[in-house]
Amino acid sequence: MKVSVIIPTYNRAHTLRRAINSVQAQTEKNIEILVVDDRSTDDTEQIVKQSGENIRYITNKHAHCPAGARNQGAEEASGEYLAFLDSDDEWAPRHLEDSLYFLDKHCLNASYALWHRLRGSLWEGYPQEWLDIFVNDLGLKVDDGAILLGSRIAEYVISKPFWCFHTDTLVAKRDAVLKCGAFDERFFSAEDLEFSFRLLLGNQACLIKDYHASYYEGDDNIVALRKEDPEKTRIHNANMVMAFKQIEKEMESSSSIVDKVKCRDQIAKKIAKYEILR
């Protein structure tokens, strides 16, 4: 099996079929789909079992959170590569094929791509000028539509107010993910931020400049719930503080981070921001 696609879900029967359909419509066909159910109470299991071949329904036995569900899927995956998609989002048809192309062409361990966000009734893209700035700042090579991120990207995303790495677009070698370590199940949110930092810290990766995923701010995702529920906002901000404190520990122990003084200063500012918000 070439690619194992992991879809964590919880009570998303109303959006899950859209996500599954977008995976089954991929031009890369050598895949398996693992839907990891975080103990839903809706029709999730039935939808998965009616969705055809090469799809498995798995119950999450880890912590009740997105990190736990992703870890369960990674443990049970058989593919050479792992890819992740949230159950309320969807992929463009060439996402896996193009990601595998760049991974193979440049001998990389991980690949990300751009994504659209549906906010209200408007689709938002990624500001091109932001990409141009960080490419110029780091002197990065852009080849055939992919930015080769190099060894300084982890330090850059700490020292600048910059982030463009969505788990929905991640395709990575399974061995690299397992070596990097599991998603941190202490976090209910921000686990993807902390995980991606670890992954970028130790692996060569690229960012594809095409839009590969559609991210929906639905009524039941973490972003939407924060807007409606002050307690969920508090929990999210507390998770962001935890994530940046963990990133600081990883930064301090890494020999590849050059300017640790600047990184400490920027992390302290981020932590102070979320400390105030929570």
Mean pLDDT over 182-188 rounds to 92
Please say if the pLDDT value at position 112 is more than 70. Answer: yes
What was the pLDDT predicted at 232? 82
What mean pLDDT, rounded, does the chain reach?
92
Please name the helix (run of DSSP H) or strand (run of DSSP E) that holds residue 194, with its range, or none: helix 191-202
Give the model's confidence band at 217: pLDDT under 50 very low, under 70 low, under 90 confident, else very high.
Answer: confident
Please say if the pLDDT value at position 129 is more than 80. Answer: yes
Cβ(235)–Cβ(229) below 8 Å: no
Pick the CATH number of 3-219 from 3.90.1170.50, 3.10.560.10, 2.50.20.10, 3.90.550.10: 3.90.550.10
Residue 52, by phi and psi: left (phi above 0), alpha (psi -120 to 50) or beta? left
Give the model's confidence band at 149: pLDDT under 50 very low, under 70 low, under 90 confident, else very high.
Answer: very high
Mean pLDDT over 168-193 rounds to 94
What was the pLDDT predicted at 228? 63
218: helix, coil or strand? Answer: coil
Hey, which residues does 146 pair with through a beta bridge? 143, 208
Find all residues with CB under 8 Å of 30, minimum gap 6, and list them.
1, 2, 3
Please say if the pLDDT value at position 246 is more than 80. Answer: yes
